[in-house]
Amino acid sequence: MPTVEVQNLYKEYSGRQVLRDVNFGVKNGELFVFVGPNGAGKTTLLRIIDLLEEPTSGRVLFDGQIVDYSSKKDMVALRRKIGMVFQQAILFNMSVFDNVAYPLKVRGESERNIKQKVKEALGLVQLNGFECKNALALSGGEVQRVAIAQALVTEPDLLLLDEPTANLDPKNVSIVEEVISNINRERQTTIIMTTHNMFQAENLAHRLAFLNDGKIESIGTFQDVFGKPSKPVKSFARLENVFYGISKITTEGTSIVDIGNGLQIEAAFRKTGNVRLHVPPEDIILSTQPLISSARNTFEGRITQISDMGHVVKLKVKIAGNKSFMAQITKRSFNEMQLNIGSKVYMAFKASSVQTN
């Protein structure tokens, strides 16, 4: 019996359909991830499951029981079994301790229990010693971790996480990801989370669903969803390093593609005319020194974004002509090269790494 079931769910905001015929079930102890681009309806879906919003039609079931939106008492009782972390964490203007204690206080727990549980919850997110700090004086990553502690302190049956690592730096991302998988493994907490990060989904999810334009496009294991991707999944998965240009065949039998702003990419295929290119981020080599290599494409650029994916790090490199590439390197190389936002790097990839439609 699934603990959470959503059936034929529709949600409209003043005539605009945000969710369309959403159906899925999440089993007890499962870590279920919704992947999809921004604006797909992921946040709205989580808010409906957290009972902060009512669906326009369709229904939500917890442990087989249909949610009755007319009973305020039932709603409070149900919400008390759910913990939620918003994408934009909201903390109260009080100490970290009082913030984390709040959900216990409204449940009428004893002072002694509160002390004990707050301490444990802060330990989970590695914020021991932060009790007396004011919550509004924390950094972005700490705010997110306090919000997670607030959601975990009541030991909820169901944990909802809305893009929990968006806007966090690599160190905080790995702390948060660790907490998520630990809670799921050790407490058997059922987790539903959203992300637009495929790699995070792959690392964490038991099962996942691809949500696009308010509809579930596909659902299953990572392999089911991204192994043989449908068209929207494909376009989502390939958002990175996609370029459009005009291709010309060279005398050497390769192609030179002009992608605009004076930039040319050499590719191993033979094509003329308009083409779409894709360079897999893992095929890009980065160096802090100028590169002398056999790779046909070399560029110089600066790092504008760093995302920690666990064992790998993805870097956004901006090169001349205002184009950016995503490069993926191992965590170890990242640490050895001592890269940072703004670092100057040299980037190279082979002509044979360039894929086309």
Identify which of residues 136 and 242 has a Cβ nearer to another protein in the complex: 136
134 touches another protein (CB under 8 A): yes
H, E, C per residue of the chain: CCCEEEEEEEEEECCEEEEEEEEEEECCCCEEEEECCCCCCHHHHHHHHCCCCCCCEEEEEECCEECCCCCHHHHHHHHCCEEEECCCCCCCCCEHHHHHHHHHHHCCCCHHHHHHHHHHHHHHCCCCCCCCCEHHHCCHHHHHHHHHHHHHCCCCCEEEEECCCCCCCHHHHHHHHHHHHHHHHHCCCEEEEEECCHHHHHHHCCEEEEEECCEEEEEECHHHHHHCCCHHHHHHHCCCCEEEEEEEECCCCCEEEEEECCEEEEECCCCCEEEEEECCHHHCEEECCCCCCCCCEEEEEEEEEEEECCCEEEEEEEEHHHEEEEEEEEHHHHHHHCCCCCCEEEEEECHHHCEEC
* 159: number of Cβ within 10 Å: 24
Confirm or reject binding of residue 187 to another protein (CB under 8 A).
Answer: no
Give min distance, CB of 106 to another protein, in A.
4
Closest approach of Cβ 72 to another protein, in Å?
A: 7
Nearer to another protein, 84 or 275 (CB): 84
User: In the stretch 226-265, what mask flags binding to another protein with x, by CB under 8 A?
Assistant: ----------------------------------------
Candidates 101-109, 205-213, 259-267, 285-293: pick the segment binding another protein (CB under 8 A).
101-109
**Rounded to the nearest whole angstrom, what is the least distance from the CB of residue 98 to another protein in the complex?**
10
In the bound state with another protein, the residue whose beta carbon lies nearer, of 97 and 210, is: 97
Residue 16 contacts another protein per CB under 8 A: no
For 260, 264, 280, 298, the CA distances from 244, given in Å and listed in that order, are 8, 11, 15, 18
Tell me how far, at minimum, the Cβ of 142 lies from another protein, in Å: 15
C-beta of 76 vs 242, nearer to another protein: 76
Binder to another protein among 5, 50, 142, 308 (CB under 8 A)? Answer: 50
Q: Does the footprint of another protein cover residue 13 (CB under 8 A)?
A: no
Of these, 69, 102, 243, 346, which contacts another protein (CB under 8 A)? Answer: 102
- To the nearest whole angstrom, how small is the minimum distance from the Cβ of residue 81 to another protein? 9
Residue 165 touching another protein (CB under 8 A): no
Q: Is 137 in the site for another protein (CB under 8 A)?
A: yes
Site residues for another protein, 56-95, by CB under 8 A, read: 72, 76, 79-80, 82, 84, 86, 90, 92-95
User: Using CB under 8 A as the criterion, which residues of the chain lie in contact with another protein when the complex forms?
Assistant: 14, 50, 52, 72, 76, 79-80, 82, 84, 86, 90, 92-95, 102-103, 106-107, 134, 136-137, 150-151, 154
